[in-house]
């Protein structure tokens, strides 16, 4: 394992550059830094979902995903390094199928909300989509491990399904989009 930081501030980034895991220096606003920074933000939001007091089984699944995201972020931080693979994606798909099996079919769009856990998970889902978009942009200009984008895509799907599951905790429900909310009672009939 690499060395530990004994001093948190180094002053090496004071001019707007940062060091990648391979020792090279880049601008702090480059796509690679934006990608792994957004994955870090996503990981933090998943930590918030766990902290809302969700079911221990789902919390453990999300904790495992947090570890995967740390690996994924390290891939983006160290050009040429790979840690995420098809097995990682298969695990997400298994979770997706298991959680989705008991949910009713979607007939309406769902608004982000329902309860604190579901709303927090919706925030994580949208940050995941942003991490995916930035990674796609990065892949256009630099080489990244292809499973990174697949993992983020599948994770955003899983987070959506978990939003639905979490919204149903303790007999609660999802908040459905009412496209007819501006019509009068007579027009809705």
pLDDT (tens place) for every residue of the chain, 189 residues total: 455 656 665 665 555 666 666 766 766 667 988 899 999 999 999 999 999 999 999 999 999 999 999 999 999 988 888 999 999 999 999 999 999 999 999 888 988 988 999 999 999 999 999 999 999 999 999 999 999 999 999 999 999 999 999 999 877 888 888 888 887 655 655
| CB environment 123-136: b (16+ within 10 A), e (fewer) | bbbbbbbbbbebbb
- DSSP symbol at 157: H
Start-to-end CA span in the chain (Å)? 66
pLDDT for residue 107? 86
Provide the whole-model pTM. Answer: 0.86
Q: Which domains does the chain carry?
A: 26-178 (1.20.1200.10)
pLDDT for residue 103? 93
Cα separation of 136 and 39, whole Å?
A: 13
155 alpha carbon, distance to own chain's centre = 6
- DSSP symbol at 179: T
Q: Scan for tokens 């993992």, then name that residue.
A: 151
- DSSP symbol at 169: G
The CA-atom distances, in angstroms, between 14 and each of 10, 11, 73 are 9, 5, 22
Q: Rounded to 5 degrees, what angle do the CA atoms 87, 42, 27 make?
A: 100
Contact criterion met (CB below 8 Å) for 162 and 114: no
Cα separation of 54 and 35, whole Å?
A: 28
pLDDT for residue 1? 46
């Amino acid at each position: 394992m690499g060395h530990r930081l004994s001093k948190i501030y180094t002053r090496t980034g004071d001019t707007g550059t940062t060091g990648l895991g391979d020792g090279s220096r880049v601008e702090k606003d480059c796509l690679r830094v934006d990608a792994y920074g957004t994955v870090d933000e996503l990981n933090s939001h998943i930590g918030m979902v766990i902290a809302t007091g969700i079911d221990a089984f789902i919390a453990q699944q999300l904790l495992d995903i947090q570890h995967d995201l740390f690996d994924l972020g390290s891939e983006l931080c160290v050009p040429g390094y790979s840690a995420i693979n098809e097995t990682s994606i298969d695990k997400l798909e298994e979770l997706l199928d298991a959680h989705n099996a008991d949910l009713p079919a979607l007939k309406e769009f769902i608004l982000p909300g329902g309860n604190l856990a579901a709303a927090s998970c919706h925030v994580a889902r949208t940050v995941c989509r942003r991490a995916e978009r930035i990674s796609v942009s990065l892949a256009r200009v630099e080489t990244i491990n292809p499973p990174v984008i697949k993992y983020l895509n599948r994770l955003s799907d899983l987070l959506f399904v978990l939003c639905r599951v979490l919204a149903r905790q303790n007999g609660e429900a999802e908040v459905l989009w009412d496209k007819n909310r501006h019509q009068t009672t007579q027009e809705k009939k």
